[in-house]
Structure 1
C-alpha cells in the first residue's frame, strides 16, 4: 500500500510530494484531509504503525494555542479525538509505504521518505 494524507493547500506538503515523487501516477493513493476527512479506522491504522496518537498530533497548529491545549494534560484518546475533529491537528504529511510510516516534514523524516518512495 502506498498512501499519503495531506492538505492540497499546504505548500510544504506539495514540496515534499514533488521531491519524493509522490503522485497518483507513481502508484500512490492521495487523500486530501480537508476534502476527504480521516476516518476513525484510518487514524487507528496510523496509530498502530506509529505507536501512538501523540506522534501523529501537531502542536504547531494554531488551534493548539487557541484552545489552550498547551496548558492541558492530553490523553491518547484526546489526541485521537482532536485529530478527527480538526484536520489541522494531524502532523502532515503522513505517508504509508508498505509497513512503514513517515510523519511530518522534519528533514530526517523527509530524507527517509524520499529513499523509501524511490525503492
Structure 2
C-alpha cells in the first residue's frame, strides 16, 4: 500500500507541475509541443524510408511466392448471333444460286 501511495503522489506532482507550467508559460508549452510534433513526424518519415531500404542495407533477399492463377471465367459470348449468321449464309447461298442460274434473286427482306 505504501508503494501505491508513493506512485499516486508522484503522478499528482507531475500533473500539478504540468498544469502550473502551462498556466505560467503557455507560449513556451505551445512551442515545445510543436517541436515535439515535428520531431515525431520526422522520425516517422525516417523510419518509413529506412523500412523501404532495409533489404538493401541488410542484404536481405525476399522470397515472393508466385501469384495465384487467374480465376476461370466463362467463355466470351460470340461476337455475332449464330442464328443471324446462319440466316445471312442461307440468303447469300440462295442469291448466289439464283445469279448463277441467270435469274433475278428473290428479295428476302430489307428495303423495297
Q: TM-score range by the shorter chain?
A: under 0.3
Which of the pair is proportionally richer in helix? Answer: 2
Q: TM-score, normalised by structure 1?
A: 0.17
With structure 2 as the length reference, what TM-score do the two structures score? 0.18
User: Which one has a larger percent strand, Structure 1 or Structure 2?
Assistant: 1
| Bigger RCO of structures 1 and 2 (CA < 8 A, at least 6 apart) | 1
